[in-house]
């Protein structure tokens, strides 16, 4: 899949959770959303992209994908 | 549920509408004691007791009028002969409906009518079903003393301009039923009585032919006519039906109940069912008249296969077709993996069919790659309402609107897309309810006969969330919230967080004015009106959901309703107007890749176990691909096989060129449809579909109402759609052995708590059922969240306004927004194959006079419409209905290519496409776009390949 589109989608999710009471909650909400609604190949692809380093992921999305990479899933 | 054939007879008419009252009144009619609610008319009271008083101008669909003088009665201690249709019952009243004096008067009245009426009963289209004829019989008319030679209207010309009905004024008795039906039932006010006395006649608009008038062809006038003045052309051609079956319309999410009136297996006409709980005897032009597609010559009735989309089709047997498809799908899975195939369920098919397709994908394909077209329309509604209130559905019954004091209509155009509900809403507005319209375009509800919005908030496309936050800010900052409701019914911490967020200055109407383009004071006034109303209801459509913040906006709407206490009773609520007939149902049935039926997440082991035990298969715990993800994965080579039932993604989904690329990348696509639609042109297997007239099942409308769909004719291709899915599953090696859709519904009920009390038998008894239907609510649930929300406490969600990435630039300075039109339905596959083309034979581009002038565009010019996704060419209509810098079109015709222009931008939570906001440029052109030229070439090639199959089949037969 087009990884740029996945990055755009992840950023969009993160931006919409940006007003959650704390950064941790926003990260958890983003991670949880990707766990619940993204198919495994999409998550795997964005994790690979994240691990490659250069990424346009925003801060919250980046932390969420990092959590996914650590095996975290439904955190809410 | 069985198809019950009832001998044809006209629907019972009790003369005047039902009234409700806490007080009963007892009177005596022809010596019998009758008890009815106070306010009931004598005519209705008599009819309820089986006493039929002659009548012509009265109908229980219309308010009493008292003009025909046939329903006169004698009432003890009252002078004269009062009309029973306008006389209300009184305690102790004594009524006589038959006497020599009454008989004389009634016979005289009928003599006058018949002295100016053609005596052609034997050759008249309504012979055998004519109220005038019946009344002549009822009063014993034997002679017309006035003769027939005097001045009359017998030579008046017919108006045959409407393709569906004929107006023959020579048969008109000027009872005004048609005029009143147009006003009271439909709310269009297109008809009137012109002239006085002998010159009185029914005219449409300014004495115009019906087709050229404001008439919307709903047919309410035809249904109301007691003579053959307004008659369906089908009835004129075919004669009276001989039986009828109650079924449900297959068009929009209103889900009207109809009497399919038949001659053998031929459908004569569709007449809206007066007992229909969603429509109460009304309909629109599509439901009543546009059913000709079901027997159109373009129907494909034989399964077909081909190796490549450049090969001619080959007609084969059902066994060969499903065998071919199953082999292909299994090969793909062997080669590319279990997740390389998937399916799309249809919002046009029944609950039982969509349930079966998702079961096929999860159990036979062994993955969760199933999605439905709600992905591209109301998926944000499901997400937003589930998050805030706990259930992915609207909160009310349609009838609830009759108790609303303020109606807020956001991003919905009901007179075009949900016309029967629009008529009900207009009725409530005429009774005095206030109206707020939030829309970038001045839709009909902003101003039309006897309807005018109190506030029209004409915002810029893409700024819904800014506006709803500004309204909420006005409510909170002015202390207009319902504190008691919030305290009792909602989560406190979440409310406090939301309150703090909303009260930030950045959400004030004054701050948001620069985004929305709506004056702050106007927003404040509308917010006050909404907040202080005893009952305020929100109705919304795709103008809410089809945005990059569609889900946020749905949550914003829910927040506002909760903050003002407008939930949990009649007259209020959050009401999504669903686009297609079974959008709600297809979502309920587990069509989304992350949810099993009943909106339960696939990751929940206890829910999975329930289905695993019933289906005897292990289910994957992770969500599958959504439709846009399927297309992306197809383009990148990870997704290779797709089963599409009853959807036309190549026309309806955004960024057409991307969709076409995805479909071209598939090694096996199976399309099940009535016609060789745009998607089928990319298919390798075609399974002929069955229309709603050819199968049994249920549809669920926008108010969660499950209604029966009943087979009135055998499937033209031999199988109902669910049978084709079952055959494919068996060919894939996963056994399915249902013998009737009722067994599928029984399985749904066993597995889904909100459906546990639903059965075909109960539907036969009740007519329809609003889910949840279970032990707690055996006959269904009209209003949800009454004492508590489904999730317990209501959850306020913080809704930051995030401007869409789809912004205007110097290259693309206009915003395109898309919508629907009354006469056409969705991709038009059905309605383009009917006479509805007379109203809309091409999609056009609406552009504001200022923008047109700047570009040298005149009305009727061809305009190139270009976005970053693609370009198409449409004819210009110059109108102030759109605001400057905004253009608008529809997507009912494939050649129009509206979705060539729309982009892959989508809702953050659900991937619902942002159809409503596309940055574009428009300029005058002299030729069609490259895509349109390619479309025409591809279309011709595919039709040729189809004809080759049909020609070779004819040779074999000959």
Instruction: Give pLDDT tens digits for B281-307.
Output: 999 999 999 999 999 999 999 999 999
Q: Rounded CA gap, B120 and B228, in Å?
A: 11
Distance from CA of A22 to the nearest CA of B (A): 11
Planar angle of CA B833, B838, B842, nearest 5 degrees = 80
Distance from CA of B802 to the nearest CA of A (A): 7
Whether residue A3 lies within 8 A of chain B, CB to CB, comes out as no
Global model pTM greater than 0.95: yes
List CB contacts (< 8 A) between A20 and chain B.
798
Check: CB of residue B443 under 8 Å from CB of residue B459.
no
List CB contacts (< 8 A) between A21 and chain B.
497
List CB contacts (< 8 A) between B601 and chain A.
36
Q: Rounded CA gap, B321 and B439, in Å?
A: 47
| pLDDT of B515 over the 70 cut | yes
Distance from CA of B501 to the nearest CA of A (A): 8
Check: CB of residue B884 under 8 Å from CB of residue B849.
no
DSSP state of B17: -
Q: Rounded CA gap, B53 and B70, in Å?
A: 8
For chain B, percent of residues with pLDDT exceeding 70? 99
Check: CB of residue B674 under 8 Å from CB of residue B647.
no
pLDDT (tens digit per residue) in B667-708: 999 999 999 999 999 999 999 999 999 999 999 999 999 999
Distance from CA of A12 to the nearest CA of B (A): 5
- List the single residue in B with minimal CA-CA distance to A74: B603
**The predicted structure's pLDDT at residue B742:** 98
CB contact under 8 A, B632 and A16: no
CB contact under 8 A, B800 and A42: no
Cα B512 versus chain centre, distance: 34
Whether residue A2 lies within 8 A of chain B, CB to CB, comes out as yes
List CB contacts (< 8 A) between B625 and chain A.
39, 41-42
Substitution target in A34, A39, A73 with the highest count of B β-carbons within 10 Å is A39
Q: What is the mean pLDDT of residues B320-326?
A: 98
Q: What is the mean pLDDT of residues B256-267?
A: 97
pLDDT (tens digit per residue) in B195-224: 999 999 999 999 999 999 999 999 999 999
- List the single residue in A with minimal CA-CA distance to B911: A9
**The predicted structure's pLDDT at residue B95:** 98
Q: Shortest CB distance from A37 goes to which of B369, B594, B805?
A: B594
Cα B944 versus chain centre, distance: 35
Substitution target in A6, A14, A19 with the highest count of B β-carbons within 10 Å is A19
CB contact under 8 A, A37 and B909: yes
Interface size A-B, in CB pairs within 8 Å, comes to 66
Q: Shortest CB distance from B625 goes to which of A33, A35, A39?
A: A39
| pLDDT of B4 over the 90 cut | no
List CB contacts (< 8 A) between B594 and chain A.
36-37
Provide the Cα torsion B315, B320, B322, B324; round to 10°.
-90
- List the single residue in B with minimal CA-CA distance to A10: B908
Mean pLDDT of chain B: 97
* B486 token code pair: 């919030």
Distance from CA of B474 to the nearest CA of A (A): 20
CB contact under 8 A, B635 and A5: no
Q: Rounded CA gap, B422 and B645, in Å?
A: 30
List CB contacts (< 8 A) between A35 and chain B.
603
**DSSP code per residue over B238-266:** H---SEEEEEE-SSBTT--EEEEEEETTE
Distance from CA of B697 to the nearest CA of A (A): 30
| pLDDT of B788 over the 70 cut | yes
| pLDDT of B955 over the 80 cut | no
Domains of chain A, by residue range, sit at 3-69
**The predicted structure's pLDDT at residue A1:** 84
**The predicted structure's pLDDT at residue B953:** 72
Q: What is the mean pLDDT of residues B410-417?
A: 98
Whether residue A12 lies within 8 A of chain B, CB to CB, comes out as yes
Q: Rounded CA gap, B288 and B516, in Å?
A: 39
CB contact under 8 A, B594 and A74: no
Beta bridge partners of B887: B816
Q: Shortest CB distance from B633 goes to which of A1, A9, A35?
A: A1
R_g of chain A, CA atoms, integer Å: 11
Q: Shortest CB distance from A19 goes to which of B501, B593, B603?
A: B501
CB contact under 8 A, B632 and A9: no
- List the single residue in B with minimal CA-CA distance to A32: B909
Distance from CA of B618 to the nearest CA of A (A): 18
Contacts of B473 (CB under 8 A, 6+ apart): B502, B503, B507, B508, B509
CB contact under 8 A, A39 and B635: no
CB contact under 8 A, A13 and B909: yes
CB contact under 8 A, A13 and B908: yes
| pLDDT of B954 over the 70 cut | no
pLDDT (tens digit per residue) in B874-924: 999 999 999 999 999 999 999 999 999 999 999 999 999 999 999 999 999
Q: Rounded CA gap, B210 and B207, in Å?
A: 9
CB contact under 8 A, B368 and A33: no
Whether residue A13 lies within 8 A of chain B, CB to CB, comes out as yes
Residues 33-52 on A with a CB inside 8 Å of B are 33, 35-42
Whether residue A25 lies within 8 A of chain B, CB to CB, comes out as no
Where residue B148 falls among pLDDT bands split at 50, 70, 90? confident
Q: What is the mean pLDDT of residues B48-65?
A: 97
ipTM score assigned to the predicted complex: 0.98
| pLDDT of B956 over the 70 cut | no
Check: CB of residue B473 under 8 Å from CB of residue B507.
yes
Q: Shortest CB distance from A36 goes to which of B501, B623, B802?
A: B623
CB contact under 8 A, A9 and B624: no
Q: Shortest CB distance from A40 goes to which of B497, B622, B909?
A: B622
**DSSP code per residue over B593-635:** TTEETTTEETT-HHHHHHHHHHHTS---SS----HHHHHHHHH
pLDDT (tens digit per residue) in B86-104: 999 999 999 999 999 999 9
* B842 token code pair: 């091409």
Q: Rounded CA gap, B260 and B435, in Å?
A: 36
- List the single residue in B with minimal CA-CA distance to A40: B622
**The predicted structure's pLDDT at residue B888:** 98
Matching residue, tokens 């998050």? B387
Check: CB of residue B924 under 8 Å from CB of residue B820.
no
For chain B, percent of residues with pLDDT exceeding 90? 97
DSSP state of B490: B
Whether residue A75 lies within 8 A of chain B, CB to CB, comes out as no
Check: CB of residue B865 under 8 Å from CB of residue B816.
yes
| pLDDT of B327 over the 90 cut | yes
- Residue B291, helix vs strand vs coil: coil
Matching residue, tokens 């009497």? B259
Q: Rounded CA gap, B173 and B68, in Å?
A: 9
**The predicted structure's pLDDT at residue A54:** 77
CB contact under 8 A, A41 and B339: yes
CB contact under 8 A, A2 and B632: yes
Distance from CA of A75 to the nearest CA of B (A): 13
CB contact under 8 A, B603 and A37: no
Q: Rounded CA gap, B250 and B349, in Å?
A: 8
Planar angle of CA B370, B374, B378, nearest 5 degrees = 140
Q: Shortest CB distance from B629 goes to which of A8, A21, A39?
A: A39
Work out the number of other CB atoms within 10 angstroms of the CB of residue B793: 18
- Residue B425, helix vs strand vs coil: helix
Q: Rounded CA gap, B646 and B697, in Å?
A: 15
Provide the Cα torsion B423, B424, B428, B429; round to 10°.
-30
> Number of helices (H) and strands (E), helices first, in chain A?
4, 0
Find the distance separating the first CA and the last CA of chain B, reported in whole Å.
Answer: 42
| pLDDT of B5 over the 90 cut | no
List CB contacts (< 8 A) between B369 and chain A.
39
């Amino acid at each position: 899949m087009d990884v740029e589109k996945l990055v755009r989608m992840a950023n969009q999710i993160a931006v919409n959770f940006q007003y959650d009471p704390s950064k941790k909650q926003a990260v958890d909400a983003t991670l949880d959303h990707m766990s619940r609604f993204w198919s495994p190949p999409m998550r795997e692809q964005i994790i690979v992209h994240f691990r490659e380093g250069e990424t346009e992921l925003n801060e919250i999305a980046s932390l969420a994908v990092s959590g996914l990479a650590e095996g975290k899933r439904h955190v809410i | 549920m069985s198809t019950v054939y009832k001998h044809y007879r006209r629907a019972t008419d009790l003369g005047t509408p039902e009234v409700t009252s806490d007080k009963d009144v007892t009177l005596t009619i022809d010596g019998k004691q009758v008890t009815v609610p106070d306010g009931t008319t004598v005519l209705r009271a008599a009819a309820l007791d089986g006493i039929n008083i002659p009548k012509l101008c009265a109908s229980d669909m219309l308010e009493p009028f008292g003009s025909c003088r046939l329903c006169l009665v004698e009432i003890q201690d009252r002078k004269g002969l009062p009309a029973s249709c306008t006389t209300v019952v009184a305690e102790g009243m004594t009524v006589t409906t038959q006497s020599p004096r009454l008989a004389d008067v009634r016979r005289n009245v009928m003599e006058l009518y018949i002295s100016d009426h053609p005596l052609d009963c034997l050759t008249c289209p309504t012979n055998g079903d004519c109220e005038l004829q019946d009344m002549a019989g009822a009063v014993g008319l034997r002679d017309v003393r006035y003769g027939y030679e005097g001045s009359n209207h017998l030579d008046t010309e017919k108006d045959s301009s409407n393709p569906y009905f004929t107006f023959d004024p020579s048969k008109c008795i000027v009872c005004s039923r048609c005029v009143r039906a147009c006003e009271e039932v439909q709310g269009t006010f297109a008809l009137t009585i012109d002239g006085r006395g002998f010159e009185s006649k029914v005219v449409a608009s300014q004495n115009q032919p019906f087709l050229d008038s404001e008439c919307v062809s709903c047919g309410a006038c035809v249904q109301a006519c007691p003579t053959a003045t307004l008659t369906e052309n089908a009835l004129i051609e075919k004669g009276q039906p001989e039986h009828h079956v109650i079924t449900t319309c297959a068009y929009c999410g209103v889900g009207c109940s109809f009497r399919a009136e038949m001659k053998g297996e031929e459908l004569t006409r569709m007449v809206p069912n007066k007992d229909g709980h969603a429509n109460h005897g009304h309909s629109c032009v599509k439901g009543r008249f546009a059913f000709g597609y079901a027997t159109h010559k373009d129907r494909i009735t034989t399964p077909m296969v081909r190796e490549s989309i450049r090969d001619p089709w080959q007609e084969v047997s059902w066994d060969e077709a499903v065998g071919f498809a199953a082999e292909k799908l299994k090969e793909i899975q062997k080669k590319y993996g279990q997740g390389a195939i998937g399916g799309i369920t249809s919002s046009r098919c029944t609950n039982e069919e969509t349930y079966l397709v998702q079961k096929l994908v999860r159990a036979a394909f062994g993955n969760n790659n199933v999605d439905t077209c709600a992905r591209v329309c109301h998926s944000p509604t499901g997400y937003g309402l589930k998050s805030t209130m706990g259930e992915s559905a609207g909160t009310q019954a349609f009838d609830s609107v009759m108790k609303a004091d303020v109606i807020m209509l956001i991003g919905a155009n009901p007179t075009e897309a949900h016309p029967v509900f629009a008529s009900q809403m207009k009725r409530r507005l005429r009774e005095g309810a206030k109206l707020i319209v939030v829309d970038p375009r001045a839709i009909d509800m902003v101003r039309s006969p006897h309807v005018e919005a109190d506030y029209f908030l004409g915002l810029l496309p893409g700024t819904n969330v800014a506006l709803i936050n500004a309204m909420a800010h006005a409510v909170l900052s002015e202390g207009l919230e319902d504190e008691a409701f919030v305290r009792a019914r909602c989560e406190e911490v979440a409310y406090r967080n939301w309150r703090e967020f909303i009260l930030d200055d950045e959400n004030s109407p004054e701050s948001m004015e620069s985004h929305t383009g709506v004056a702050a004071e106007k927003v404040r006034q509308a917010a006050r009106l909404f907040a202080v109303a005893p009952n305020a209801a929100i109705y919304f459509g795709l103008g809410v959901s089809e945005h990059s913040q569609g889900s946020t906006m749905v949550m914003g709407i829910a927040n506002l309703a909760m903050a003002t206490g407008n939930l949990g009773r009649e007259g209020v609520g959050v009401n999504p107007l669903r686009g297609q007939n079974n959008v709600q149902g297809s979502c309920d049935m587990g069509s989304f890749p992350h949810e099993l039926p009943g909106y339960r997440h696939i990751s929940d082991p206890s829910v999975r176990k329930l289905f695993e035990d019933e289906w005897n298969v292990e289910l994957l715990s992770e969500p599958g691909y959504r439709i846009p993800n399927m297309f992306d994965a197809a383009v990148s080579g990870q997704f290779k096989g797709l089963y599409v039932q009853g959807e036309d993604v190549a026309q309806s989904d955004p960024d057409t060129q991307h969709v076409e690329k995805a479909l071209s990348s598939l090694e096996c696509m199976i399309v099940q449809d009535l016609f060789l639609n745009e998607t089928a042109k990319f298919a390798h297997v075609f399974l002929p579909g069955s229309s709603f007239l050819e199968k049994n099942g249920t549809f669920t409308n926008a108010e969660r109402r499950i209604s029966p769909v009943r087979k009135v004719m055998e499937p033209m291709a031999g199988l109902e759609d669910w049978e084709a899915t079952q055959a494919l599953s068996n060919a894939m090696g996963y056994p399915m052995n249902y013998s009737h859709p009722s067994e599928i519904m029984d399985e749904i009920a066993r597995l889904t708590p909100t459906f546990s009390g639903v059965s075909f038998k109960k539907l036969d008894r009740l007519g329809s059922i609003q889910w949840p239907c279970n032990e707690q609510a055996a006959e269904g649930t009209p209003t949800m969240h009454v004492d508590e929300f489904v999730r317990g406490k209501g959850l306020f969600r913080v809704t930051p306004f995030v401007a869409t990435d789809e912004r205007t630039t110097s290259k693309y300075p206009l915003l395109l927004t898309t919508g629907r039109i009354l006469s056409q339905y969705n991709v038009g596959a059905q309605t383009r194959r009917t006479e509805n083309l007379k109203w809309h034979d091409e999609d056009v581009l609406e552009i504001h006079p200022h923008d047109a002038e700047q570009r040298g565009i005149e009305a009727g010019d061809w305009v190139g419409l270009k976005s970053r996704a693609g370009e198409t060419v449409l004819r210009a209509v110059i109108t102030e209905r759109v605001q400057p810098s905004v253009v608008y079109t529809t997507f009912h015709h494939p050649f129009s290519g509206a979705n060539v222009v729309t982009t892959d931008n989508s809702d953050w939570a659900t991937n619902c496409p942002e159809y409503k906001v596309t940055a574009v440029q428009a300029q005058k052109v002299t030729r069609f776009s490259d895509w349109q030229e390619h479309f025409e070439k591809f279309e011709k090639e595919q039709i040729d390949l189809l004809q080759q199959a049909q020609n070779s089949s004819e040779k074999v037969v000959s």
